[in-house]
Amino acid sequence: METAALDLYSLRKSFMEGEVLICFNGPFSHSIIEEIGIAVKRYLETEAASRSAVADVFAVFVELAQNVQSYTHRLKGRKDELGLDAGTLAIGRRGDNYAVSAGNMIDQADAGPLSARLEELLTKDKPGLKALYKERLRGPRLPASGAGLGLIDVARRATQRLSWSFRQIDDRYSFFSLSVII
C-alpha cells in the first residue's frame, strides 16, 4: 500500500485563502526564531510596508514566538502524540493590515489564568495598557516566563482587539491560538 502523498495543493490553497505570507509548524528553537525574524523583516520591506508596521509585526512575532518556545519547552518530555513540543505560527495579510498568529498545545489548567490575563487587556485603552506595562516592568520577575509583559506589549502594538481561542483536544490538553492584527 502506498503512503498518501502530502496534498501540497490543498495546503497552498489554504495559505492563499488565508493570505498567509510565512508559516512555520514545529518545535521552536532560538535560531529558528532568529531566521524567521530575518525573513519577516525582508519580506515586509519588499512590500514597502511602513517602518513602524515592520517594527510592530516583527516585535509581535518575537514576543509570541518566544512565549510559544518557553511554554512548549516546559511540556517537553511528556508523552507526545499531540505534538506538545510543536508551535504553529503564521504571518499574513488581513485586508490592509497584517496578522501575526501563534498557537500551541496547553495544559487545560493554564487556560483559565491565561484567559483572565487576556480579558484584562481587552478592558484597557492604549494609555491604560501603557500604565499596566510600566507597572509590570517594575514588578518582580514572574517565575514562569514573564509572558505577562509580552502580551501587554503585543496588545499595545495591535490595531484591533486581540482574538484568541481554546480548542479542547482531549481531557488534558487544549490548543490555544492567539491572533494579533497590526
Partner 1 sequence: MNDLLIPGSISSPTVRLDASRGMMELAGESYPQNAFDFFAPIIDWARQFLRESPDPLILSLRLSYLNTSSTKCLIDLLDLLENAYKIGRAARVVWHCDRDNERAREAAEEFREDVTLPFEIVLEGPAQ
Neighbouring residues of 167: CB distance < 8 A, sequence distance ≥ 6 = 174, 175, 177
We find the least distance from the C-beta atom of residue 24 to partner 1, in angstroms, to be: 17
Q: Which amino acid is it at 103?
A: G
Stretch of residues binding partner 1 (CB under 8 A), selected from 15-23, 78-86, 136-144, 169-177: 136-144
Is 56 an interacting residue with respect to partner 1 (CB under 8 A)?
A: yes
Stretch 58-77: interaction string toward partner 1, x if CB under 8 A = xx--xx--x-----------
Stretch 163-182: interaction string toward partner 1, x if CB under 8 A = --------------------
Between 149 and 181, whose beta carbon lies closer to partner 1?
A: 149
User: Residue 47 — φ and ψ, nearest 5°?
Assistant: -80, 0
| Joined grid coordinates for residue 5 | 502523498
Stretch of residues binding partner 1 (CB under 8 A), selected from 55-63, 87-95, 105-113, 170-178: 55-63
Q: What is the CA radius of gyration of the chain?
A: 17
CA distances from 58 to 45, 62, 171 (A): 11, 6, 35
Is 153 an interacting residue with respect to partner 1 (CB under 8 A)?
A: yes
**Alpha carbons 85 and 7: distance in angstroms, whole number:** 24
Is 149 an interacting residue with respect to partner 1 (CB under 8 A)?
A: yes
Using CB under 8 A, which residues numbered 6 to 35 contact partner 1? Answer: 30, 33-34
- Candidates 146, 161, 165, 170; binder of partner 1 (CB under 8 A) is 146
What is the DSSP secondary structure assignment for residue 159, as one 8-state letter? S
Strand (E) or helix (H) holding 61: helix 51-75
Between 34 and 119, whose beta carbon lies closer to partner 1?
A: 34
Is 55 an interacting residue with respect to partner 1 (CB under 8 A)?
A: yes
Query: How many residues are present in the chain?
Result: 182
We find the least distance from the C-beta atom of residue 132 to partner 1, in angstroms, to be: 12
Q: How crowded is residue 6: how many other Cβ atoms within 10 Å of its Cβ?
A: 8
We find the least distance from the C-beta atom of residue 3 to partner 1, in angstroms, to be: 37
